[in-house]
Structures are given as structure tokens and as C-alpha cells.
Amino acid sequence: MADADTHLETDVLVVGAGGAGMYAAIAAARGGARVLLLDKSLVGRGGATIMAQMTVAVAMGEQAPDHWTRHHADTLTAGRGLCDEVLAALLCREGPDRIREMDEWGVGWTREDGHLKQVMAPGHDRPRCVFVDFLNTGPAVAKTLRGKVAKTDGITRVSNLSVTSLVTHDGRVAGAVALDLAKGNPVTIAAGAVVLAAGGLTRLYRRNSASVNMGGESYALALDAGASLIDMEFVQFFPIGHLAPRLVGMDPIMWDPFRYKLGGRLLNGNMEEFIHHYGATDSGAYTAPRDVTSYAIVREVAAGRGSPHGGAYLSFEHIGEAALRDAFGPVIDRLARNGIDLAQGPVEVAPIAHYHMGGIRVDERMASDVPGLYAAGEAVGGANGANRLSGNAITEALVFGEVAGRNAARDRIAPVWDAAWAEKAVSDITRLSMPIDTASGPAFGILFSELQNLLWDKVGLSRDEQRLTAALSRIRNMRSVDLPALHPRDSGPFAMGVQEWFDLRAALATAEAITVSALNRTESRGAHQREDMPATDPAQAHNQRIRRAGDDELVLDTIPVRRATIDTVSRGAAE
């Protein structure tokens, strides 16, 4: 892995080295491009892919007859009428190719009787999800891609390099400016094309399942470069994040594979099943969509029927100790060390910010509306509409990563650079890196925590005009007053204060985009639930596009949902 110099040049720059970024780098290199793959943490060790536990939705049809158009139909149903149907079709159609390619690279998909084993997941009409292990599919996918990246000629990997700005010239992206975290200096990068694959935004919420680099940087960078975002109001909350008792050293979304394998029962504070009161079924199975389940828990809590810590109970007591141990033996022992005995009592769960359906608006080539700028993975918006179908996230990372890398290599131009184009972005890093003597002024930790609480309380699962308006006012105040007054109190190699300033800048820009979009959608649909507008409005079956006009103002308009004419293969024909 290379160290960063003060100026780099490449054909294709890939920002973010999770699953989508690594696949984009491999695809671009296969297209003959010199690729620079960089990450603000360790290449291949950050992002969301490595944190995923189990399932990857794809119509392989190895154990049960299936067809990608069936997967597509389920994706559109989950998306509540707002999916970009062309992107959704791309995801579902090319998913099998990526799964087979990962198989050739040795990922180790679980097999049964010589076929890839596929399991049922909420929202699917048949068993469709492949996996490596019930708890470690994401780490296996990330490890396989790291190995493939290392063996692919033409890819240069750089860790600890955080992109703070994209650089444009004559309307086209020309490269980027980054902060070298190890040395504390700015680095300029000339690139013939750029792929943004720096993940989602769920770190912006108080309760989240995100890694530290899911703070909305992709969206903020794209906005500042002149690209459009789409449907930023749709933040997905994973309904059964662990709440209580205290759990140390284990993933807060670990109950997902338990429910895939054993079902379990979701109960309110009166120990009653309740999902059927909200238009879905869930008893002893795991079938209710995430948006329905999350909102149902919130409503039960609001009605005074929550669990003691403000969530719901998840019970496996009816399964029996032998079956629990047979399914998750070593994990049962780890739970016991946390004082949890699933055979004897339930745990408490509650929604947790998990994924973002909105993002950078792209075409079927993953090209944004800024020439030379592409997006991949969770940075892309639109494919999943108002609610993502379970299991589509890793599929999306692999498919969109490959498409973005391939097209960035194909459409790249020879990199050109003029230091004047990046003068302001470089000077921002230099200015913030100058040490100061005073400890006065706001502190990053306090401001970032306030933002997380603000979004959780006012722009979270339950929204209304009053709370959204108050949140927007405070976010804009933080952007105009608190951020300029924040000055890093350290400098030099591995001084995190400068990085934190840019983290907060990106977080505030993205938070503003979410809140403006949520205010403008005056209905409830999928993951966007307005207490003051509880009905779904058929007249609002459109996407919302948001762009930056001038240096600061956000402009929002509506655009028709992109439809695709696809004849779904009938269940009988698929068989």
C-alpha cells in the first residue's frame, strides 16, 4: 500500500474502499485504467459491507425456481412506488453475475446438496438470499474483494486519505483534494474520472449501526461539486436493533440472523403480538417489511405499550434451549456472558438507523449529472425507493460498484490539473492545520452529538412540520455560526481535529438535505412517516431532487419516477 505524496495523478479515482469501492476499482482496472483506491480508514476495512451479517438477495434459482424479474417485482413493492425502476432492474438482473464472480474468487457461499443455499427474507416471495455464514457474510465478502484488489494490476491503494473536496473545471470533475491523516497535509489528486463510493449517512443518528465513515460525506461532496441528490428524506431504520440488557462486544443488529433462522416473536410491553395491527404479519416468522415493523414499534411505545427501555420485546423462549444452541452454539455462550439467556426470557429491541435509500442521482451507467463523476453502493439514490427490500444492500454494492468502475474507465479522459482549481480547498486544510493557543469555542464532540440527537428526535422515525422546521433552523445555525467558530485544537500527523471539522461540515450539509426533503414531502410513505400527514398521497408518487444553487442555497423540485417496461416472469414460468 502506498503513502500519499502531495500530488497524485490517476485515470480513475475511487473514493471509499468498502464493497462498492473495491468492486469499482477492480472493474476500472479491468477496463485498462490506472486506478487510485483510497479510504479515510484502512482500505478494505471500513464501510458497511464488512459489517453486514448474513444475506445477499439475488435470483439464483438454484434451490427454488426464480427469475430476476421476480426479484425486481419484490423490490418495487417494497419501495412503495418510488423505485427508479431502471436502476432496480440493473441491480436484480446483474446480481447473479456478481454472485457467481465472487464465487469464482473464493468467497465461499454456503451450499446444500451441491447448490447455493438460499433462505427467505422479509418482502421476498421465495427463498432468495445467499450467504456465507449467518453472522459473517459481510466480512467474507470484504476479505475476498481485498484479496482480489491486491492481485489486480493497475490498482494503487492508499489508506488514511480523506477527500475533503471534489475539484471541477469547465463543468467536469477533474480530481479531488484530500487530507493526509497520517501526515496532516493536503494532497491534490488529478483524475480522468471519479467514483464516489464513500457510503451512507446513518452515523448522523443517535442510535445507528454504522461505521465511523458513514457520516454523509458522499452526498456532501456530490452536492458541492454540482451533482443532484434524490429522495434524501428516506432513511431506513432497522426495526430490531438491540436495546436492553446491556450487550458488550456484539453487533446491535445481531438479531437479524436469529430471526432469519428461528423466527422469534415480536411482543409489546403487554407481551402481546402487535404487527398484525399495522397491516402486516410476523408471528413466529420474519416476514413484515422493515418500514412497517419500525413504525409499529414507535406507535406501540407512543401508546404506552412499549418495553421498559422504550422498545419492544423479541422472544425466542418458545424455541427451546436445544434448538437455540443447535443453531447458534458459540453465540449462545457469548450471550450468556452478557447475562442473556434466550430460553428463559426476551430481549428488548428498538429501531436503529441502518441504511439510506436516497443519494446521488445517477443514470444506468452510474453517471451523475456532473460529467466524469460516478457513484456506487449506498452513495447511489433511487433504486430502493421509499423502503429497501431486505438483502439488497450487498447486491447493490457489488452490482453498482462494477457498473460504475467499468463506465468510469470507459469514459475517462486524460487527467489534467491546474493548482489554481484547488486553491480554496487546499487553503481550507492549511488554515485549519494552524495550531491555536485558545481552548475556547465549541467542541466537535458536543456539536456532533447535538446533531445526532437533533436528527433522532426531530428528523427520525416520527416527523411533523413543527419538529422538522425546528431541526432545519438549528442545522442552518450550526452551519453558519458554530462550524466557522470551531477550530481544531491539534495539528500535524494523526491530529484528528482537522478531520473532525470536515466531518461536521459534511454532516451538516447532508442533514440539511434530509430535513429540507422531509419537510417538502407532505405525506407518509415507506420510511418517511409524518404524524401530521399520516396518509399516503397518490399525487406525491414522484421523486424529490435537490441541488445546491450558488454557494449555499438548496433548491428542491420534483421529477417523475423513472419507469421500466419489464414483464415479470410468472411464478409458473419461472418454475
Tell me if 522 sits within 8 A of 544, measured CB to CB: no
Closest C-alpha among 194, 221, 223 to residue 8: 194
Tell me if 64 sits within 8 A of 268, measured CB to CB: no
Closest C-alpha among 392, 385, 393, 400 to residue 561: 385
Q: Are strands 129-130 and 161-169 parallel, antiparallel or unpaired?
A: unpaired
Closest C-alpha among 479, 485, 482, 499 to residue 551: 479
Tell me if 85 sits within 8 A of 561, measured CB to CB: yes
Tell me if 567 sits within 8 A of 69, measured CB to CB: yes
Q: End-to-end CA distance of the chain, in Å?
A: 48
Q: Rounded to 5 degrees, what are φ and ψ at 27? A: -65, -40
- Cβ neighbours of residue 421 closer than 8 Å, sequence gap 6 or more: 167, 168, 169, 174
Determine whether 439 is exposed, middle or buried from the number of CB atoms within 10 Å of its CB (0-12, 13-18, 19+).
exposed
Helix (H) or strand (E) holding 551: none
E-assigned strands of 40-171? Answer: 56-57, 111-112, 115-116, 129-130, 155-158, 161-169
Q: Are strands 115-116 and 229-230 parallel, antiparallel or unpaired?
A: unpaired
At position 416, the amino acid (one-letter code) is V
Catalogue the active-site residues. 290
Using CA atoms, how far residue 557 sits from 228, 292, 470, 521, in Å, is: 11, 27, 22, 11
